[in-house]
Amino acid sequence: MTALLLLDFQNDFFPLGTVEAQGADKRMVETANRLLSCFDYAAACGDSHPADHLHFAANHLWRRPWQTMKVEDRERLLWPMHGVAGSFGAEWVHGLHTAALHRTFFKGAQLDTTGYSAFEAEGFADWLEECSIRRLVLMGPLLEYSVLHTALDARARGFEVTVIRDGCGKLELQPGDAERAWELLQAGGVQGIEASEFYGKIQNTDNN
């Protein structure tokens, strides 16, 4: 079985959000909607952080977003507040056909988890097993974070993984971050494909 997984399709990552990603726009939502009915399953996974999340710069004196701080010999990237549970920013982005989703999941609920990978979301891995899903097709506004980490985690668990190239946005905190993410995905055995190419292949995809 194959599942389309939409990552972080939430207000905070789209225009006027606190972490507005490059390329996260109406076109991305339209692409997602077009693909929703083309797979055995479709799901979305988003952030649901507590307001006092330790990866928010606002929760550390004299720190600002996108700085890093060392905690127990590990670098922690500090983010603007986003995806706070119950907030408008954490709601699914306007126009997304959520009624077509089979399941929704939320990640980053613990104070010191990054929430980058969908496999951090409660029940996500169990759902994949219950539905006999062995292939994941990913898209989302944060290529270098949620898409990258979810894809590599899935590959490590033996899943076949495809990323919709024109279904991803990027942050580019440093020049070349997106390109480096694609290199890591390719090295990890993740396939990249344009949505336009995918439409013609969907009908021929088997359910093994």
Domain boundaries, the chain: 2-48+90-202
Q: Three-state SS for 70?
A: strand
Distance between CA atoms of 132 and 107, rounded to whole angstroms?
A: 22
Using an 8 Å Cβ cutoff, are 44 and 98 in contact?
yes
For the segment 3-28, what is each residue's pLDDT rounded down to a tens digit? 999 999 999 999 999 999 999 999 99
Task: Kindly report, residue by residue over 164-205, the tens digit of the pLDDT.
Answer: 999 999 999 999 999 999 999 999 999 999 988 767 555 444
CATH of 2-48+90-202, one of 3.40.190.10, 3.40.50.850, 3.90.1150.200, 3.40.50.720: 3.40.50.850
H or E element in which residue 174 lies: none
Instruction: Report the predicted TM-score, pTM, of the whole model to 2 decimal places.
Output: 0.92
On whether the CB atoms of residues 49 and 111 are closer than 8 A, the answer is no
What does the pLDDT look like over 130-145, one tens digit per residue?
999 999 999 999 999 9
C-alpha closest to that of 69 among 48, 54, 89: 54
